Amino acid sequence: MVELLPAWCFNCRRFISRPCRSPSQYLCSTCYGKLPFIDGPTCTHCGLEHGSGSCSNSWAKDIESFHGIFYYQDPIHAWIVNLKYSAGLFAGRILRGFVNTWFTENTAAIRSLDAVLPVPIHPLRLRQRGFNQTALLLKSQRVLPLKTGLLKKQRFTSQQAGLTGLQRRDNIKGSFKATPSLHSKNVLLFDDVCTTGQTLGEICSCLKKVGVGQIHILTLSRSM
Ligand SMILES: [Zn+2]
Ligand SMILES: [Zn+2]
């Protein structure tokens, strides 16, 4: 099968000539080289760059390992916003490529886990948006079974953006439900963005209530 390469860089809209190709077929090498990959050491529990020493983020106490791919900066920020609020499926395709690469590069470390769980959205939000961006970003990785029905958002909440850490915690409290079948399972929980960590923390306590085993986290982007 002949693969048709896109002629134009999604980011700068310039023609991608052969010498300007990058590991992402949709970006030129210049734009690829400027992507905000997380490259420094980060905390195993909360994913922040707070140096050595114990983690003081109580929401992260049950997290076995935390992995972030990008800093939550442009153009990643803009592409995620485009995907979530304007159904920018092409941006989604590019981002999914980076998620796939992460899974391929980390296969040895995660292959013994039982499942990858996308952070769910409420059914009303799903109807509005037409898709759950976290499930969409995971759908072409083949390393772990993707389980979309085991964790549910049972209460509709206002958007977390614009709220402080404490407001976020109150806004999200009790809004998720995990099925008992997750008991003793080791899982990778995936979200597109982690800012204060309150959503992930709330899901972790919900998972612990049903007796889940290890919780590992992957976020496409992490604000520091
Ligand atoms: Zn470019
Ligand atoms: Zn930490």
- Give me the residue label for tokens 């734009």: 31
Residue pLDDT, tens place only, 73-121: 999 999 999 999 999 999 999 999 999 999 999 999 999 999 999 999 9
Tokens of 56: 């003081």
Residue pLDDT, tens place only, 166-187: 787 788 899 999 999 999 999 9
178 C-alpha to center of ligand 2: Å? 25
199 C-alpha to center of ligand 2: Å? 15
95 C-alpha to center of ligand 1: Å? 15
- Give the Cα separation of 65 and 125 in Å (integer): 29
- Give the Cα separation of 188 and 203 in Å (integer): 12
Omega cis (within 30) before 75: yes
Residue pLDDT, tens place only, 151-164: 999 988 877 777 77
7 C-alpha to center of ligand 2: Å? 42
